Structure 1
Amino acid sequence: MASPAITQTAQPLEGLRLAASGPPELAGPAAAHLRLLGAGTQTGRTGPGEDGAAHLALSGAGFSAQSAHVTWAVDRASGITDEATVQAATGIMAVHGRRDGAPRGLAVDYAATATGVLAVQGLLAALVGQARGGPAARVDTSADRAGLLAVSQYLAAAGADEGEAAEIAPGGPPFTSADGTLFELETLDPGAWAAFWRALAAPSDAIRAGWRPFQFRYATACAPFPGALHTTTRAHTWQRIREAAAGTGAEVCRLRTLAERAAEHDGAAPWELAPYGSGHRIPRVTPTAARPLAGLTVLEAGRRIQAPLAAHLLGLLGADVIRIEPPGGDPLRGMPPTSSGISARWLALNRGKTAVEIDIKSAEDRRRLLGMAAEADVFLHNWAPGKAAELGLDHQDLAGVNPALVYAYTGGWGTNRIAGAPMGTDFMVQARTGVGEAARPLGEVPAPSLMTLLDVLGGLVGAEAVLAGLLTRERGGRGVRVDSSLLGASDVLLGPALRRARRGQEPRRPAGFRRPLPTADGWIAPADACGAAAAAYDLTSLPTGAALAQLRTHGLTATAVTADPADLHHDPRFAGSISRDEHGAPAVPDPWSLV
């Protein structure tokens, strides 16, 4: 088909009309993002339909109609029918509950939020494909696929050739001061860790024993610290703890409430798109419906989770991803547990990418990187704030060699949105923005999840932002600077809770919300609408299958809780969908299909 005419557009979906219907938990997040990207609401939209799915359609501005079909589960017979059952089946409850020693539901709608972002990604990618001369596509995605993507690193580690490098056992932050302040601690430096605790007179053996679980908590979703560390903080005031951190290079952050975050929330979109330069790249490869980004090149200079996951998703949509690694390769390639000698977690985010070693401290290698950027479509990084400018690799520098480049930065705090913000890591952003309070219902002490909620959601939002930038470029003929952040991901996740807080309502879910029920041999999770009624039954003497059957006789919906991500390989609810890659590492299915 002919590509839609190039227009100067301020928003990538300007001139397109949106029709949305279906369950608000599934349709709402996607529709909100599409409107933020410029889509207008179409009058006369359809009702919720009979299939329980959300339906999204974009039309106008010279594009063929694009549609997305969003469900709770690929298999409607799986018993996965809502947020609670998705979290239970996909292992989210198991991973989130490691800190507490038992499966625990997230009191925020994490899977549904991620699913909405994935639906927007699919629609944007299909429109990019159309703009480059490809066909229209129907996008199918589901919350169970989003849940599997969210736990993909934990699943990969559980199915690796060797065991974890650190103990998986209950325990972890937050810490509590003598005057009752809950707080998170962050440092990437073992010296700063030791100095902080010495300043508070913690026992030396506890300091030594605590570093390893602290260091690996991002990988294991738990941190079984010696109890002496918690005892130490309870002996000091919050002011003294802050002084100890300031004097040793560690950082601490008080857990903020949802009301505090709502009061300061500026209502900004989770990304910023700023067109610059001029120029339009002629497609070298005609995209297909299934691979709308075919022929596009993404340069990724990412570390940890956020940027690598964003680039991974772009690769699944057909882009060629070239990963920039330091001399000797990414040190995380060898992080245990491994499959065929390569970190299983690393493979979950980086399989299928081409690696090129670049020493960004070398002027010669930076010139080499500029040469690569001149031929690329996207440059994506999550370097520390200010580092790109220091290296001469900021968007102005790369625009000089490629004015049609989409320059994407995925960071912690966004652009000047939080004054005096601490280190922009997952758990610190959770603490600072109220996620720690939202993740648990009323009656429970707030605590950030040790599952990397925001790193994963930040990667999804980052990929969404890049796709919005690509569509802006294709429609406007200009390069685009794209910024996304963990802060933006937090605001997306907390949207409903922040709205309740602004209305003066209780922002947290009620006591007991989304709590799994024990059986004789495991756990079950009732659907959210059935939670209170199901909790009235004592199921502890019944095997899980019998407990589910008993609830069904009372008209109550529930599903078995996956207690260990390793069990997902054999779970009939995901029959045949989890494979192994060429290294033998577990691989989750693509989160959407485009046909």
Structure 2
Amino acid sequence: MTATLSTAHPAARLAGDHLTALDAGDRGVEPIVGWAGPVDLPLTDEVLVQAACGIMHVHGRARGTPEPLAVDYATAVAGVLATAGVLAAEFARARGRPVSAVRTSVAQAALLSVGQYLACGPDGPARAAGVPPPFVSGDGVRFEIETLRAEDWHRFWRAMGAGDQMLREGWPPFLHRFATATCPLPAALHDVLSAHPFTEIHRAGAACEVSVVPIGDAPPVPVWTFSPLPGGPGAPAADPGLDAPLRGIRVVESARRIQGPLAGHVLGLLGADVLRIEPPGGDPARGVPPLTGGVSARFAALNAGKDAVELDLTHPAGRAAAKELVAGADVFLHNWAPGKAEAWGMDAPDLAAVRPGLVYAAASGWGPHLGRRPPLGTDYVVQAYSGLAAALRPPGEPPAPSLMTITDVLGGLVCAVGVLAGLGRRERTGAGCRADTSLLSAASTVPRSRREFRRPIRTADGYVAVSATTVHDDTGQCTSEELLAGLRAAGVPAVAVTTDLGALSIDPRFAAALHRPPWEFR
């Protein structure tokens, strides 16, 4: 059941705002967005999309029950996705392809946002007992912590007075929270931190190289920042085709985790040839369970279709080989830690010297906004600092980041948009550019205006989400299908809440959306 497509859709309006901010393209293509797209369900608003497409399920995993995000997250993702589609279409138009429209939907955006979880198939066992972050200090400050190394984790907690058993139990769920969207920590760890004032916890974190970030409400920052680079030839002119507007564009990607690989994935979906640089032995994420065909399902969801080469960028020979690859590319994309590009001699001016006309995309955690030594720039601490942690929760509930990778997904998309805008600029002017984006800047794309918060209705065998708050009867004895039948008869749009991503991935109503790129060009 395809929803009506409209340039007046909220996501299309967001895309229009993004295009204006980018000052990109000839405006010959307008974003056309619907709610359901090719998904065969009566999706008429944000809440129904979140329910049907798995967002409620993933966001609610940590608490063991599906729960909506209190902001229009899927709409925000669709707005950035539509922006990417328009820029890709205008790039194809500049190369002689008369593209007249690009279409996408909020449902397709939502499915892209949970793609790494969908790839893992059926859900695992029920949520384990434990208490997820954030933490609360003895003087009432709510905060998140981040570290990527077990030794730093242990030093920090020992400094706070935690026992070894707590640390052994706490590290695995903390380490795997990005993959599972859960983090059942021992309650005793929360108790340990609640015995100390925040300044003491922050000091211990700094001493142990653990980032301690209070939950706040930082002002929005610009989503994209561009800097000029020397000009040079673009890719050879080619007929991009309607479904591959970036055909002929070569991307070299050196990225880990989600943000950078997702940006490369989006460019690949648009037809670019993407080559990954991985460390000797390959990206460690390739071996993270669950495996499909010998490769991590999550890794494959972000990197399928890319070629890969192993280079040791910590050594001059590896960097020299990488520069040779960049010399034949149109785009170089990375999400390295702050200072690494300069230390390696692979910052934008360095690579523009070997490839004039290069579009150099740097996707970071914080950008320049927190100084030269910022906290670790990962999803949950960015949610905390940026104010998303408060906006995502219903009114009256304490702020807490979602354990769904909210800013990683948006960060990958806004990086891809930066690349597309840079390619468009090069097509018009011949000059290369550097495009800087960050998880923090991506957080600025989510509208913070609150809508009515509607939790799904519990039924005898699941949950149902409705598009209006007109259902007040006791539905506990009613099955989801019985309730849906009654709502359909009353003309109230409603859907069953997806509570098993494995079932969603084989549901024929989603097949047309899951097995093709999220744009239609014509």
| Shorter-normalised TM range | over 0.9
Q: Distance between the aligned counterparts of 2:37 and 2:239, measured in 1?
A: 29
Query: Quick one: structure 1 residues 412 and 542, their matched pair in 2 at CA, closer, same or farther if it must change by over 3 Å?
Result: same
Q: Distance between the aligned counterparts of 1:577 and 1:118, measured in 2?
A: 14
Match of 2:3 in 1: none
Query: Quick one: structure 1 residues 67 and 471, their matched pair in 2 at CA, closer, same or farther if it must change by over 3 Å?
Result: same
What letter is aligned with 2:95? R
1:356 Cα offset (Å): 0.7
What letter is aligned with 2:509? R
Q: Is the CA contact 2:7–2:33 (under 8 Å) kept in the aligned structure 1? A: no
1:36 to 21, 24, 34: 21
What letter is aligned with 1:35? T
What letter is aligned with 1:364? A
Per-residue CA distance 1:478-513 (angstroms, 9 max, x = gap): 0111101101111111x343xxxxxxxxxx555xx1
SS in 2 for 1:247: helix
Q: Is the CA contact 2:99–2:521 (under 8 Å) kept in the aligned structure 1? A: no
Match of 2:521 in 1: 594
Q: Is the CA contact 1:135–1:288 (under 8 Å) kept in the aligned structure 2? A: no
Q: Distance between the aligned counterparts of 1:413 and 1:552, measured in 2?
A: 46
Match of 1:136 in 2: 99
Q: Distance between the aligned counterparts of 1:231 and 1:550, measured in 2?
A: 47
SS in 2 for 1:113: helix
Q: Distance between the aligned counterparts of 2:243 and 2:38, measured in 1?
A: 21
What letter is aligned with 1:219? A
Query: Quick one: structure 1 residues 406 and 97, their matched pair in 2 at CA, closer, same or farther if it must change by over 3 Å?
Result: same
Q: Is the CA contact 2:40–2:510 (under 8 Å) kept in the aligned structure 1? A: no
Per-residue CA distance 1:71-127 (angstroms, 9 max, x = gap): 001247511111001100010000000111100100111110111111111110111
Match of 2:481 in 1: 545
1:128 Cα offset (Å): 1.1
1:572 Cα offset (Å): 4.4
Q: Distance between the aligned counterparts of 1:169 and 1:376, measured in 2?
A: 49
Match of 1:520 in 2: 460
Q: Distance between the aligned counterparts of 1:360 and 1:291, measured in 2?
A: 31
What letter is aligned with 1:156? A
1:236 to 196, 209, 213: 196
Match of 2:391 in 1: 438
Count of residue correspondences = 517
Q: Distance between the aligned counterparts of 1:369 and 1:341, measured in 2?
A: 27
Residue 184 (structure 1) aligned with residue 144 (structure 2): yes
Residue 224 (structure 1) aligned with residue 173 (structure 2): no
2:118 to 152, 155, 161: 155
What letter is aligned with 2:174? F
Per-residue CA distance 1:526-571 (angstroms, 9 max, x = gap): 22xx1x323x222111000111222334443221100121120233
SS in 1 for 2:44: coil
Query: Quick one: structure 1 residues 594 and 159, their matched pair in 2 at CA, closer, same or farther if it must change by over 3 Å?
Result: farther
What letter is aligned with 2:82? A
Match of 1:339 in 2: 292
What letter is aligned with 2:470? A
Match of 2:51 in 1: 88
1:227 Cα offset (Å): 1.3
Match of 2:503 in 1: 567
Q: Distance between the aligned counterparts of 2:49 and 2:373, measured in 1?
A: 37
- Residue pairs, 1:99-114, within 5 angstroms: 99-114=62-77
SS in 2 for 1:481: strand
Query: Quick one: structure 1 residues 336 and 208, their matched pair in 2 at CA, closer, same or farther if it must change by over 3 Å?
Result: same
Query: Quick one: structure 1 residues 453 and 212, their matched pair in 2 at CA, closer, same or farther if it must change by over 3 Å?
Result: same
Q: Structure 1 vs Structure 2: percent identity of aligned residues?
A: 48
1:239 Cα offset (Å): 2.0
Query: Quick one: structure 1 residues 496 and 310, their matched pair in 2 at CA, closer, same or farther if it must change by over 3 Å?
Result: same
RMSD: 2.0
Match of 1:17 in 2: none
Q: Distance between the aligned counterparts of 1:401 and 1:331, measured in 2?
A: 29
Q: Is the CA contact 1:426–1:486 (under 8 Å) kept in the aligned structure 2? A: yes
Q: Distance between the aligned counterparts of 1:246 and 1:464, measured in 2?
A: 35
Match of 1:302 in 2: 255
Residue 174 (structure 1) aligned with residue 134 (structure 2): yes
SS in 2 for 1:277: strand
User: Mean Cα displacement is larger for which, 214-223 or 197-206?
Assistant: 197-206
1:198 Cα offset (Å): 1.0
1:577 Cα offset (Å): 4.3
Q: Distance between the aligned counterparts of 1:241 and 1:384, measured in 2?
A: 24
Match of 2:470 in 1: 533
- Residue pairs, 1:8-407, within 5 angstroms: 21-23=7-9, 25-38=10-23, 65-75=28-38, 78-159=41-122, 171-257=131-217, 261-262=218-219, 265=220, 268-407=221-360
What letter is aligned with 1:317? L
1:517 Cα offset (Å): 1.2
Q: Is the CA contact 1:526–1:559 (under 8 Å) kept in the aligned structure 2? A: yes
1:251 Cα offset (Å): 1.4
Q: Is the CA contact 2:12–2:82 (under 8 Å) kept in the aligned structure 1? A: no
What letter is aligned with 2:113? A
Query: Quick one: structure 1 residues 83 and 551, their matched pair in 2 at CA, closer, same or farther if it must change by over 3 Å?
Result: same
Per-residue CA distance 1:452-476 (angstroms, 9 max, x = gap): 0000111011101110000011101
TM-score normalised by structure 2 residue count: 0.95
- Structure 1: gaps spanning 5 or more residues: 1-19, 40-57, 498-507, 579-587
SS in 2 for 1:214: helix
Match of 1:491 in 2: 444
What letter is aligned with 1:589? R
What letter is aligned with 2:492? L
TM-score normalised by structure 1 residue count: 0.83
What letter is aligned with 1:486? L
Query: Quick one: structure 1 residues 213 and 130, their matched pair in 2 at CA, closer, same or farther if it must change by over 3 Å?
Result: same
SS in 2 for 1:70: strand
